[in-house]
Amino acid sequence: MALASRELRWSCCCCRQVDRHVTTNSTIKRWPAGVLEARVLVLGASDTGKSTFMKQMRYVFGDTFPVADRRRYHPHIRRNLLESVHKMVTAADDFGIPLTTTAAQEAAERFRDMDSLAQYLVEDAEMDPSLPEATKVLWEDPGFQETYLRGNEYHLMTNADHFVTSAARILQTEYIPTVDDILRMRYPTRNSVMSTYDLGEMRMTLQDMGGERSEREEWVRLLHPPTAILFLASLSEYDQCVEEAQEEESKNRVEESLDIFEAVLSFPFFDNTPVILLLNKSDVFSRKIRHHPLSQYFSHYTGEDADEEAGRNFLAGLYERLAKQHRKHFVARFTEATNTENFKAIFSFVKNNVSRTMMSRGGLL
């Protein structure tokens, strides 16, 4: 999409009525006892880790997901597991990859029809005790493993291996989701999600606007510019294509993310808003680059195919060049949003940058 058309579409969105759920406080406001209010807009393409970042915020600074609340994630986590196995079974058929053993072939029949598995996607559903063993037999089959490694060709979710290898636990009738399950769960954000946290000297509101294409026009329905933009990009999607629009099936997902990033940088509404870039899923990238050479997807990459550091720096450089072209204040970090300890360190980095921005705007720096 041309830059001019991006700006036109976003400008029209700005003219719409502001959502009544969106806060209308100014970018910087002093609360009692000198507390500053920060408003951070969380942006990025679909499946880059925005929702995981928001869930980590809740876990570290909020209510830590009490057991009673975890139960409502039952259907979503089980769907992630069962759909992943279904997709792999279907892909093995499509690719002509034979399953090695008779047991694996029989197990595959259990997952070919997703409709027949829908009965297990209800909270507290009575589970079929044979499903965990069928999943285990499939996962141990060499043909199934070959299909798993080709997951980039059929949009297999990032954490499919976590859920499939946890089938014996997740497919128990009395299963209670763990925090790790919730953090790794894939559930598209269809609406804006806003959360506010008191962080001592700062009160921070984060607003995840969703990354699905249908949600992007809502990104600029704001009355005041945010304190900062937190833009998440996935390192691990360099070998995947856009899934949401069939007519752009051949478009690389990193290219899609770069287009969105440039639109954010160039939109006048964000002229004075600094951008914090989190290059997420560096752990998945580390595993994937051993099997999927970066040069197959980016012909101008000149590093070694299995060189993780060179690959990460190459992808980071694509975003950095855009920021420089638009003369945008920009900082970046590599992240693993599902890793809570890594999240704490990254959030400290984010908070420090937001704090410096606020102090600078307030004339304190």
Quote the distance between the C-alpha of residue 25 and its chain's center: 28
* Residue 267: CB atoms within 10 Å: 18
- pLDDT 10s digits, 145-157: 999 999 999 989 9
| CB proximity list for 270: less than 8 A, separation 6 or greater | 225, 226, 229, 264
Alpha-carbon distance of 92 to 169, in angstroms, equals 25
Q: Are 200 and 326 in contact (CB under 8 A)?
A: no
Q: Enter the CATH code of domain 3-47+189-361.
A: 3.40.50.300
Which residue from 327, 339, 341, 267 is spatially nearest to 43, judged by alpha carbons?
Answer: 267
Rounded to 5 degrees, what are φ and ψ at 67?
A: -55, -40
Give DSSP secondary structure letters for 282-325.
Answer: HHHHHHHTTTS-GGGT-TT--S-TT-HHHHHHHHHHHHHHHHHH
In three-state secondary structure terms, 37 is strand
What CATH architecture applies to the domain 69-184?
Answer: Orthogonal Bundle (1.10)
| CB proximity list for 234: less than 8 A, separation 6 or greater | 45, 47, 48, 49, 158, 253, 254, 257, 279, 280, 281
Strand 29-31 and strand 35-44: the pairing is antiparallel
The full set of domain ranges for the chain reads 3-47+189-361, 69-184
Residue 111's pLDDT is what? 96
Residue 174's pLDDT is what? 87
pTM, full prediction: 0.85
Per run of 10 residues, the mean pLDDT along the chain (length 365 residues) is 32 29 39 75 92 94 90 92 97 97 96 92 85 97 97 93 97 92 87 88 88 54 77 96 65 94 91 94 94 94 93 97 93 96 96 89 51
